[in-house]
Amino acid sequence: MHTELIDRIRAAHAAATQLVIQGGGSKLFYGNVAQGEILDTRSLNGVVDYQPKELVLTARAGTPLADVEALLAERNQMLAFEPPHFGCPRPNPPPQAGEGANAELKPVYATLGGCVATGLSGPRRPYTGSVRDYVLGVRMIDGTGETLSFGGQVMKNVAGYDVSRLMVGALGTLGLITEVSLKVLPKPAAELSLQFEMAEASAITTMNRWAGQPLPLSATSWHAELLTVRLSGAASAVAAARAKLGGAELHDAAAFWQRLREQTTPFFDKRPLWRLAVKSATGPLQLGDAQWIEWGGAVRWLASDLPAAALREGAHGCGGHATLFRGSAPPPQPSPRTGEGTNVMPTAINDGVFAPLAPALMTLHKNLKMRFDPKGIFNRGRLYPDF
């Protein structure tokens, strides 16, 4: 299957045709619209190596994220960046005989490759790090069909430029990730969540203040006058922090954080949904719409019809950037996997999903793209319209 992918990439390189990399199809909504033939990664399936004592897992890019997490859970370990799936936990069982054409319409699910390519992390991120922090190495195929290996399976490695981390969040524009090695962590022994009725401004200050103290924080959220914090660690440490902080214990805490991680509460149904990343202690953003704050104040979600430029300028002024996380158009559906069809994605997002880059940085981006994918065959336009 690997050689089939290489052959298709070489052919696309030779003919300068465009490919859209697609795994389980759970994050098609994210990024700008890319056009081209689907390059299906689902055949790159399976965990290659898992050494719990080394805290290292290596898996192929098309492996369902849920399979990776289930395997880690067997050894009481986890992906510390708590990646959102934005899809069903698992692919459907293989189609039975006689199911016919409908068998192609599988529900979407997250793959490890998509998790790394989008670089999205969940509620635990500000306290334990992001996807890119845990990537130790990648194997990939570049835009000329060359297979490459960067990084490795060890925690410390400063030989050569850090190309593996460069792939994280590049949305497949620099190459097809075929295999990833990640650092994993033990699951905390105990976890509990506390809620506090609190106005926005003091909630932001409180989240920042607590993060500066030796408390076992692992997630924070504020919405509708309610501050929610999660504590994770040794049972004794969690109990001590609970006593110190007060508040009311949240009883369906796991479900609460799961809904936030997967954006399944009604708040996240509104469109267009913006993600404003700002300096964490930035005060309440006066943008006229209800917001959901997480990551210790560093991320503010809101559904807003304000012009993109205004939101972008506002976020930039607060030390960060604004992303049109989910546009107004219905999210694209995964396409049939004939391998020859053209991906049908709506073209409603026309203002650019990601904050524009300073000219000097944009030049570097274009030149990096040119070096890894000289004919521009991979996910053209997904990150920035020009490449």
Verify binding: residue 2, other proteins, rule CB under 8 A: no
Which one among 71, 90, 149, 245 touches other proteins, defined by CB under 8 A? 149
For residue 305, the minimal CB distance to other proteins (Å) is: 21
Nearest CB to other proteins, comparing residues 30 and 109:
30
Nearest distance from residue 169's CB to other proteins, in Å? 6
Cα angle at 83 between 114 and 283, to 5 degrees? 120
User: Shortest Cβ distance from residue 6 to other proteins (Å)?
Assistant: 13
Alpha-carbon distance of 371 to 142, in angstroms, equals 9
Structure tokens at 143: 């835009």
- Point out which span in 39-47, 208-216, 258-266, 326-334 binds other proteins (CB under 8 A): 208-216
Binding flag, residue 235, other proteins (CB under 8 A) = yes
Taking each continuous run of H as one helix and of E as one strand, the counts in the chain are 11, 17
Residue closest to 48 by CA, chosen among 149, 171, 168:
149
> Does residue 246 touch other proteins according to CB under 8 A?
no
Q: How many residues make contact with other proteins (CB under 8 A)?
A: 88
Q: Shortest Cβ distance from residue 339 to other proteins (Å)?
A: 26
Contact 2, 44 (CB under 8 A): yes
Per rule CB under 8 A, is residue 251 in the interface with other proteins?
no
Is the Cβ of residue 12 or residue 120 nearer to other proteins in the bound state? 120
> Which residues in 310-369 contact other proteins (CB under 8 A)?
318-321, 323, 354-358, 360-361, 364-365, 367-368
Nearer to other proteins, 213 or 350 (CB): 213
β 19-22/37-40 pair status: parallel
- Taking the least distance from each CB to other proteins, the nearer of 53 and 340 is 53
Using CB under 8 A as the binding rule, whether residue 63 contacts other proteins is answered as no
Q: How far apart are the first and last CA of the chain?
A: 28
Q: Please name the residues in contact with 185: beta carbons below 8 A apart, sequence gap of 6 or more.
A: 55, 77, 78, 80, 128
- Shortest Cβ distance from residue 77 to other proteins (Å)? 9
Report how far residue 254's alpha carbon sits from residue 192's, in angstroms, rounded to the nearest whole number. Answer: 9
* Cβ proximity of 188 and 218 under 8 Å: yes
Alpha-carbon span 105 to 107, nearest angstrom:
7
Those residues with Cβ within 8 angstroms of residue 273's Cβ, 6 or more apart along the chain or in another chain: 301, 302, 303, 324, 325, 326
| Interface mask toward other proteins for 253-282; x: CB under 8 A | ------------------------xxxxx-
Q: How far is the CB of 173 from other proteins (least distance, A)?
A: 8
Task: Work out how close the CB of 333 gets to other proteins at its nearest, in angstroms, rounded to a whole number.
Answer: 27
Residue listed under structure tokens 């998790």: 115
Q: Which residues neighbour 4 within 8 Å (Cβ) at sequence distance 6 or greater?
A: 43
CB 330 → other proteins: shortest distance, Å? 24
Query: Which one-letter DSSP state was computed for residue 33?
Result: -
> Do 180 and 79 touch, CB atoms closer than 8 A?
no
Q: Which residues contact 104 (CB under 8 A, 6 or more apart)?
A: 336, 337
* Span 159-198, contacts to other proteins by CB under 8 A: 159-163, 165-166, 168-170, 174, 185-187, 189
Using the minimum distance from each CB to other proteins, give the nearer residue, 108 or 308. 308
Query: Could you say which of 89, 95, 107, 152 contacts other proteins (CB under 8 A)?
Result: 152
| Least distance (Å) between residue 51 CB and other proteins | 7
Identified binder of other proteins from the candidate list 22, 130, 193, 221, rule CB under 8 A: 130
Handedness of CA 295, 296, 297, 298 (dihedral sign): negative
- Region 74-93 residues binding other proteins, contact defined as CB under 8 A: 75-76
Work out whether 202 is an interface residue with other proteins (CB under 8 A). no
Of 11-50, binders to other proteins (CB under 8 A) are none
